[in-house]
Amino acid sequence: MKKFASDILMIFPIIGGICAVAVILAAPSEQKNALLFGLSGFRLCMVMFTIGFTVFAFLVYRKGRKMKTFLYYFCALSGVTAAEILLFSRFPTDDSRNLIPIIADRAGPLLWCVLLSSLFWYLSLRLSGTNSPRYFGFTMAFAAILIYWLISEHMAKICWNVRLDGNTTICVLVMISLVLWQLALDSSIHRGWKTAAGCLFFVLLGFGVTRITGMWMGRVETPPKAYWNELAESFLNGRLDLMHPTVFHDLTQYKGKWYVPNPPLPGILLIPWVAILESAEAVNTCVYSAVIAGLNAGLFYLMILLAFTREGSPFYSPVSDEASFPPNSLNIAAWVTILFVFGTDHLWLGTTGQMWFISQLLVVTFTLFAVICVLCGFSPVCAGISLAFGMLCRPNIFPIWLCLLGLWLYQERPFPSVNRRKTIRWCLLSGIPVVISVLLQLLYNKLRFDSWLDFGYVTINGADWILEAVQKYGMFHPHFIRINADVMLFGLPELDFSGTRFFFQPHVAGYSIFLMTPPIIFIFRAFRKNWFSIGAWASVLLSIALLLLYHNTGAEQIGYRYLLDFSAPLSLLIVDGVRGKTELLFKILTIFAIVLSFTAIYWWYLGRV
In-domain check, residue 406? yes
pLDDT for 165: 84
Domain count for the chain, please give it: 2
Share of the chain above pLDDT 70, in %: 92
- Spatial neighbors of 243 by CB under 8 A, at least 6 apart, are 230, 233, 234, 237
Give backbone dihedrals phi and psi of 133, rounded to 5 degrees, phi first: -65, 160
Segment 539-563 shows an average pLDDT of 92
Least confident of 183-192, 343-352, 539-548: 183-192
Report how far residue 353's alpha carbon sits from residue 367's, in angstroms, rounded to the nearest whole number: 20
Give backbone dihedrals phi and psi of 259, rounded to 5 degrees, phi first: -125, 150
Query: DSSP class of residue 550?
Result: B
Residue 479 neighbours by CB distance under 10 Å: 13
Q: Is 196 exposed, middle or buried (0-12, 13-18, 19+ CB in 10 A)?
A: middle
Q: Given 135, 162, 187, which residue is the final one in a domain? A: 135
How does DSSP assign 328-372, residue by residue? Answer: THHHHHHHHHHHHHHSSTHHHHHHH--HHHHHHHHHHHHHHHHHH
User: What one-letter code names the amino acid at 295?
Assistant: L
Q: Which is nearest to 427 in space by CA: 391, 395, 392, 384? A: 384
Least confident of 114-128, 246-260, 502-516: 114-128
Query: DSSP class of residue 379?
Result: -
Q: What is the pLDDT of residues 422-463, one digit of tens each?
A: 999 999 999 999 999 999 999 999 999 999 988 988 888 887
pLDDT for 89: 84
**Residues 344, 351 contacting (CB under 8 angstroms):** no
pLDDT for 479: 93
Least confident of 89-93, 368-372, 481-485: 89-93
Q: Is 16 exposed, middle or buried (0-12, 13-18, 19+ CB in 10 A)?
A: buried
Binning pLDDT at 50, 70 and 90, where does residue 302 land? very high
Binning pLDDT at 50, 70 and 90, where does residue 497 land? confident
pLDDT at 53 over 90: no
**Residues 17, 54 contacting (CB under 8 angstroms):** yes
Buried b (16+ CB within 10 A) or exposed e, 517-534: bbbbebbeebeeebbbbb
Q: Given 115, 135, 155, which residue is the final one in a domain? A: 135
Residue numbers of the domain that contains 414? 285-314+323-607
In-domain check, residue 34? yes
CA distances from residue 377 to 15, 383, 407 in whole angstroms, order as listed: 57, 10, 10
In-domain check, residue 219? no
Identify the residue with better confidence: 526 or 387: 387
Report how far residue 53's alpha carbon sits from residue 20's, in angstroms, rounded to the nearest whole number: 11
3-state secondary structure labels for all residues of 198-264: HHHHHHHHHHHHHHHHHHHCCCCCCCCCCCHHHHHHHHHCCCCCCCCCCCCCCCEEECCEEECCCCC
Q: Which is nearest to 397 in space by CA: 366, 439, 425, 431? A: 366
**Any alpha helices (H) in 450-530, and if so which ranges?**
464-473, 481-485, 513-516
Report how far residue 175's alpha carbon sits from residue 180's, in angstroms, rounded to the nearest whole number: 9
Q: What is the mean pLDDT of the chain?
A: 88
Report how far residue 257's alpha carbon sits from residue 264's, in angstroms, rounded to the nearest whole number: 17
In-domain check, residue 201? no
Strands (E), 44-180: none
pLDDT at 350 over 90: yes
pLDDT at 60 over 70: no
Report how far residue 272's alpha carbon sits from residue 236's, in angstroms, rounded to the nearest whole number: 9
pLDDT for 40: 62
Least confident of 41-55, 183-197, 345-359: 41-55
In-domain check, residue 510? yes
pLDDT at 83 over 70: yes
Q: What is the pLDDT of residues 354-411, one digit of tens each?
A: 999 999 999 999 999 999 999 999 999 999 999 999 999 999 999 999 999 999 999 9
In-domain check, residue 453? yes
Give backbone dihedrals phi and psi of 194, rounded to 5 degrees, phi first: -65, -40
pLDDT for 15: 76
Report how far residue 396's alpha carbon sits from residue 544's, in angstroms, rounded to the nearest whole number: 11
pLDDT for 63: 63
Q: Given 100, 135, 170, which residue is the final one in a domain? A: 135
In-domain check, residue 206? no
Q: How far is CA 151 from the centre of its chain?
A: 23
pLDDT at 506 over 90: no
pLDDT for 102: 78
Q: How far is CA 262 from the centre of its chain?
A: 24
Report how far residue 273's alpha carbon sits from residue 441's, in angstroms, rounded to the nearest whole number: 23
In-domain check, residue 146? no
Share of the chain above pLDDT 90, in %: 60
- Between CA 322 and CA 476, with CA 403 as vertex, the angle to 5 degrees is 150
pLDDT at 80 over 70: yes
pTM: 0.92
User: What one-letter code names the amino acid at 91?
Assistant: F
Query: DSSP class of residue 28?
Result: P
